[in-house]
């Protein structure tokens, strides 16, 4: 009897830890589609609970907010490359053009039988390699740096203007990256106007996908390249989709960990420093909703 009571007590004391362990070991979902949107140069504190970002904070209430998410470095370009290739690949600034050859998200997804397309707003044409074109900036478009590579090549056809983002979301590739132009990604202008403009752009251009994703096993990720240089590179990262638990989660992650999460979802070989990163484990719904 005493042993039985002791066992019950031990089980009761261990229960919260056991539940957390189960959550941490939940298999990663495999979304039919992931759309990753990258915003510019704002810290967690500048966006979360800001009246200038009502749509983004509405997404927070509908999905998972990572409260311990960080960029890799400064300035912009190496962060984009880190998220795409798992390394800054020796790039320390916004130099253009670049010619890179390392394994990347496009190449590792292809090896796993999956697809990637990047959509950049105001890219002049499919496969364009311009450094600047109006409000478009190549420094925010990492995949173009692999178009001329003899290995791990990104085909010009997979570097597309945002006007090519499909209205029929069934036709999306497995993983997309969406890059607003510098007027709409919170890069240009002053706060709060540039936050408001970026927030409005997201509502106008991505809300239809968010609603569709909820019933089609698909996922939206919104993150930032870096902070404003004043918050130890602490940035918001928001995930919304039927496989995501709603709430705020303190699991630490950076661009390498976010990349590792996407790779592991599709059984793709991790690239660069994402090999040493851990995927997100605590934010997934158990069980994942049926598509």
User: CA 45 from chain center: how many Å?
Assistant: 19
* CATH architecture for the domain at 30-276: 3-Layer(aba) Sandwich (3.40)
The pTM for the full model equals: 0.90
| Pairing, β 64-70 against β 253-254 | parallel
Closest Cα partner for 162 from 194, 192, 133?
Answer: 133
Name the β-bridge partners of 119. 160, 178
Residue-wise DSSP of 203-266: HHHHHHHHHHHTTTTEEEEEEES---SSSTTEEEEEEESTTB--EEE---EEHHHHHHHHHHHT
Closest Cα partner for 242 from 282, 279, 266, 211?
Answer: 211
C-alpha distance from residue 123 to each of 17, 177, 201, 238 (Å): 49, 13, 17, 25
* Radius of gyration for the alpha carbons in the chain, expressed in angstroms and rounded: 20
* pLDDT (tens place) for every residue of the chain, 291 residues total: 333 333 333 333 333 333 333 334 568 999 999 999 999 999 999 999 999 999 999 999 999 999 999 999 999 999 999 999 999 999 999 999 999 999 999 999 999 999 999 999 999 999 999 999 999 999 999 999 999 999 999 999 999 999 999 999 999 999 999 999 999 999 999 999 999 999 999 999 999 999 999 999 999 999 999 999 999 999 999 999 999 999 999 999 999 999 999 999 999 999 999 999 999 999 999 764 555
pLDDT of residue 191: 98
DSSP letter at 267 equals T
- Sorted by sequence, the CB contacts under 8 Å of residue 241 that are 6+ apart come out as 31, 63, 213, 214, 217, 218, 219, 220
pLDDT of residue 6: 37
Residues 219, 240: Cα–Cα separation, whole Å: 6
Handedness of CA 222, 68, 248, 279 (dihedral sign): positive
Residue with tokens 């320390």: 92
Contact 266, 109 (CB under 8 A): yes
Q: 149: exposed, middle or buried (C-beta count within 10 Å: 0-12, 13-18, 19+)?
A: middle
Phi/psi at 116 (5° precision): -140, 140
Residues 104, 207: Cα–Cα separation, whole Å: 28
| Pairing, β 136-137 against β 247-249 | unpaired
Name the β-bridge partners of 254. 70
- Residue 92, SS3? coil
């Amino acid at each position: 009897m005493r042993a039985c009571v002791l066992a019950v007590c031990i089980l009761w004391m261990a229960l919260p830890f056991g539940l957390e362990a189960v959550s941490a070991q939940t298999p990663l979902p495999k979304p039919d589609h992931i759309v990753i949107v990258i915003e510019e140069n704002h810290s967690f504190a500048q966006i979360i609970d800001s009246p200038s970002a009502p749509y983004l904070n509405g997404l927070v209430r509908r999905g998972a907010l990572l409260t311990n998410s960080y960029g890799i470095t400064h300035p912009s370009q190496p962060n984009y490359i880190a998220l795409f290739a798992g390394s800054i690949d020796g790039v320390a600034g916004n130099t253009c053009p670049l010619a890179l050859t390392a394994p990347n998200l496009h190449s590792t997804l292809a090896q796993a039988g999956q697809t990637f397309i990047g959509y950049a707003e105001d890219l002049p044409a499919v496969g364009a390699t311009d450094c600047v074109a109006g409000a478009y900036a190549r420094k925010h478009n990492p995949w173009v740096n692999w178009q001329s590579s003899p290995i791990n090549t990104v085909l010009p056809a997979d570097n597309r203007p945002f006007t090519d983002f499909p209205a029929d979301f069934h036709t999306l590739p497995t993983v997309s990256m969406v890059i607003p132009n510098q007027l709409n990604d919170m890069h240009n202008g002053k706060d709060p106007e540039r936050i408001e403009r970026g927030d409005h752009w997201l509502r106008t251009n991505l809300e239809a996908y968010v609603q569709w994703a909820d019933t089609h096993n698909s996922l939206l990720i919104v993150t930032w390249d870096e902070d404003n240089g004043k918050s130890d590179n602490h940035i918001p990262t928001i995930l919304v989709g039927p496989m995501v638990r709603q709430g705020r989660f303190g699991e630490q992650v950076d661009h390498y960990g976010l990349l590792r999460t996407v790779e592991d979802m599709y059984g793709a070989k991790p690239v660069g420093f994402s090999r040493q990163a851990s995927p997100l484990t605590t934010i997934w719904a158990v069980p994942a909703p049926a598509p």
